[in-house]
Amino acid sequence: MAPVFSADAIIIDHNSMDITQIPQSAIEQAKAILHIAYGHTSHGSQLTTGMTGLLGFANGGGLGLSLPTVNH
C-alpha cells in the first residue's frame, strides 16, 4: 500500500481539545494503514491496558464517543 499524503494535514497531539472534529474518513484511513507492534516484555501489557483504559474513558467519560474495542 502506498503512503497517503494530504495537502491539508491534520495534526493531533496533546494540545488537541476536540477530537470530534477529526473527519471520519481520516480515522478510517488511519485504521487501515496503522500498525502498532512491540516486543512483549514484562511490562508490555501496559500498552494494551492503557489503550483499554483510554477506550473506557472516551466511551464512558462524557465525551459522546463510541470507540471500537481493542483486540488483545
Read off the pLDDT of residues 38-49 as tens digits, 9 standing for 90 and up.
666 666 777 778
Q: DSSP letters of 14-45?
A: TT---GGGS-HHHHHHHHHH--------TTTH
Q: Which three cell numbers stand for residue 9?
A: 494535514
pTM: 0.39
Over the stretch 15-70, which tens digit does the pLDDT of each residue have?
777 777 788 888 888 888 887 776 666 667 777 788 778 777 777 765 666 666 65
Q: Output phi, psi for 14, to 5 deg.
A: -65, -10
